[in-house]
Amino acid sequence: ARLYTEEDPVVILSSDSLKQTVLNSSSAWLLQFYSSWCGHCIQYSPTWKALAGDVKDWSQAIRIGVLDCAHEKNFDICKEFGIHFYPTFRYFKAHDTTNDFGKTYRGADRELQTVRQLMVNFLQNHTKHDWPVGCPPLDPARSEDILSLMGKKTEFYTAVIVEDKDSYIGREVILDLMPYEGLAVKRALSSDKLLMEKLGISSVPSAYLFYPNGTHTVMNVQKRLRFFFSSFLKLLPGVHRKQTNSALQRPQPGNNGQGTQVEWKEFEKSKVYMADLESGLHYLLRVELATHKTLEGEELKTFKDFVTVVAKLFPGRQSVVKLLETLLEWLVSLPLEKIPYDAILDLVNNKMRISGLYLSEQVQWVGCQGSSVALRGYPCSLWTLFHVLTVQAANRPDALANTGFEDDPLAVLQTMRRYIGTFFGCQECGKHFEEMAQESLNQVKSVDQAVLWLWRKHNQVNARLTGSMSEDPMFPKTQWPTPDLCPTCHEEQEGLHVWNEQMVLAFLKQHYGASNISPKYSSNSPDRPKTITKPNSNVHLNQNLKPSPDSAPKHQKRTDTNGAGEKHNGVQIEARPGMTFLGLGFSSVDMSLCVLLYALSCVFLMFMFFFFRFRSKRWKARNYRPYV
């Protein structure tokens, strides 16, 4: 296998693309010419990938590429470029038309931080004439320019990183924020005493922030590290990733693409919202799965396992949990190998009118709302649901007792893997997720590791999707949790950001724990359960597939409902009349059958009565004995 794949944040070059990509480019390039059989190259590849991921946002200024000289079709180009040893590192300046073969880096130190700083130095070697397009100035700003911002209203924020002469933080933060709009980042040196005094800065590195409204203050970050400064700035209100051409064609924030404004709901990002989880379950059960006419074989098994895990672990409202439990009992009690999905829908829609079961049909995205209806929503809620479930499995070890999943730390992840692979509407996503699962899921040995595995993989997906079309400019894809949510989760080792996984685990358990789920915006249960009739489809509960009354939990009561049908979102909502008797709910079909059977049995009994009466009279007349 090749050392680098399309999944990695590096640009993979070949003889066909090398010259036209790298020479006279609008950005500078740092290339690694490697050989896939060379042991050093193999060992070094994780560092190179990490570096490329770390500087992904610098791509307008400098980009990272690889070319495999062991590939037959690259033999000639590697010869032409004079590559004799592997790996060879070459820098290519932006706008270089001299057709040269780049500048070789010969240093022995190839640590990530060293190479990253060399990239900054190399960028600064450009002149005014060949400066990479889109790369902001990296030299320190003049103190007059900074001080003139005091009290001045502008259209954007200005952040100033004040640092020592040898520090790279300022330049790295400037490059990190390059793809973002709504702010400008500058750097200043601590040797500028007047500036230090005017800004009231006594220790470095520090950051100072000028707000668009003319106010200004020292930036308050928990740790004075590059990652903390960059994250803080990326998350400022009004700061978002610049839109690409394709992203510009997307509906604008607050607009659903059809001219209708979407109502914005205020929310706290430190909370998980029950409305998101329930809306996700509604979409999953009534829309995504409903595209399957019947479930059988592996699909049915996957669905049953999914319902088992959710019914046992979902820390939701009683009405939803009861609905899931009833669905589970019904699925388990049914010996069928094939189930029409309409029958499942009938149960989800509580056609049996079992009181206390209800899953709202209203979609309410809160923490998962997007700046347009085309963004976020369901996939966000699905991630959230599975994070909640892994945390529940870790916090409540006995929850899966007697389900066949007890003692299985992989229960939630394997169920998620199979659900995503079988039913998730985005097939490509399913393929990627499966690749990640095949790669490392077998290393998960405990429920805590399962929580961390899902977090790690979600961040891997976030990194891949940074700047993609599915990124909501108001909710940029970041490595999560950001420092403002969990400062102790972040550390730095030799200039590289590292996670404190113990802290991450504690944070995930708190964030996705039941007590952090807010009921705000959750739709209330209706006074009566409603049934849905899809146009032109027979949705009457299939009598053969009715769950037997015994299969419903004993504590569940049935109730009657009354009311006329009503129209909602183009779907006919029909509330059929019914009644309760001895605490059991009966629909009108049940009632009609009862009356019919009652009438038939009356006729039958009358017939028997007259038949035997007539026979006994005849017998008496035939065998009349006056002396008996």
Ligand X SMILES: Cc1cc2nc3c(=O)[nH]c(=O)nc-3n(C[C@H](O)[C@H](O)[C@H](O)COP(=O)(O)OP(=O)(O)OC[C@H]3O[C@@H](n4cnc5c(N)ncnc54)[C@H](O)[C@@H]3O)c2cc1C
Catalytic residues: 38, 41
Give least dist CB 64 to ligand X, A: 22
Q: Closest approach of Cβ 86 to ligand X, in Å?
A: 32
The residue assigned the tokens 């029409």 is 340
Q: Is residue 275 part of the contact set for ligand X (CB under 6 A)? A: no
Is the Cα torsion angle 437, 440, 443, 444 positive or negative in sign?
negative
Both tokens of residue 315? 């820390």
Residue position matching structure tokens 């017939």: 607
Within 10 angstroms of residue 362's Cβ, the number of other Cβ atoms is 14
Q: Where does this chain touch ligand X (CB under 6 A) — which range of 29-37, 78-86, 128-136, 459-467? A: 459-467
Q: Is residue 500 near ligand X by the rule CB under 6 A? A: no
The encoded tokens of residue 583 equal 């605490």
If one asks whether residue 6 binds ligand X (CB under 6 A), the answer comes out as: no
Contact between 125 and 149 under an 8 Å Cβ cutoff? The reply is: no
Residue 166: partners with Cβ closer than 8 Å, 6 or more residues away? none
Residue 314 vs 383, nearer CB to ligand X: 383
376 near ligand X, judged by CB under 6 A: yes
Which of 125-133, 154-162, 379-387, 608-616 is the region at the interface with ligand X (rule: CB under 6 A)? Answer: 379-387
**Which residues have CB under 8 Å from 374's CB, separation 6+?**
250, 251, 256, 257
The reply on whether position 384 binds ligand X by CB under 6 A is yes
Q: Which of 287, 465, 498, 605 binds ligand X (CB under 6 A)?
A: 465
Residues 341-370 that bind ligand X (CB under 6 A): 368
Q: Which residues contact 148 (CB under 8 A, 6 or more apart)?
A: none
Q: Minimum Å distance from CB 432 to ligand X?
A: 4
Site string for ligand X, 559-598 (x = CB under 6 A): ----------------------------------------
Contact with ligand X (CB under 6 A) among 379, 421, 487, 495: 379
Helix axes 378-395, 501-511, angle to 10 degrees: 100
- Residue number with CB closer to ligand X (122 or 423): 423
> Which tokens in the block code for residue 124?
């600064």
Site for ligand X contains 518 (CB under 6 A)? no
Least separation in angstroms between residue 179's CB and ligand X is 16
| Residue 382 binds ligand X, judged by CB under 6 A | yes
Decide if residue 462 touches ligand X (CB under 6 A). Answer: yes
Q: Of these, 411, 413, 420, 451, which contacts ligand X (CB under 6 A)?
A: 420
Cβ nearer to ligand X, comparing 135 with 313: 313
User: What is the Cα–Cα distance from 275 to 310, expressed in whole angstroms?
Assistant: 16
Decide: is 235 part of the binding site for ligand X (CB under 6 A): no
Q: In 3-state terms, what secondary structure has residue 237?
A: coil
CB of 518 to ligand X, least distance (A): 13
CB of 68 to ligand X, least distance (A): 25
Whether 449 contacts 391, CB under 8 Å? no
274 lies in the site for ligand X, by CB under 6 A: no
Interface residue with ligand X among 19, 71, 224, 458 (CB under 6 A) is 458
Stretch that binds ligand X, among 182-190, 241-249, 407-415, 458-466 (CB under 6 A): 458-466
Residues 6+ apart with CB under 8 A from 94: 25, 26, 27, 28, 126, 130, 131, 132, 133
Stretch that binds ligand X, among 185-193, 257-265, 374-382, 551-559 (CB under 6 A): 374-382
**Enclosing H/E stretch for 75:** helix 75-80
Q: What Å distances lie between residue 345 and 283, 304, 437, 465, CA to CA? A: 12, 14, 31, 34
Closest contact distance (angstroms) between CB of 268 and ligand X is 11
429 binding ligand X? (CB under 6 A):
yes
Answer whether 62's CB lies under 8 Å from 78's CB: no
Peptide bond into 481 cis (omega under 30): yes
Q: Quick one: how many helices (H) and strands (E) in the chain?
A: 19, 22
* Cβ neighbours of residue 246 closer than 8 Å, sequence gap 6 or more: 469
Residue type, 137: P
459 contributes a contact to ligand X by CB under 6 A = yes
Question: Does 423 sit near ligand X (CB under 6 A)?
Answer: no
Note the residues at the interface with ligand X (CB under 6 A): 368, 376, 379-380, 382-384, 387, 420, 426, 428-429, 432-433, 455, 458-459, 461-462, 465, 468, 470, 472, 475, 480
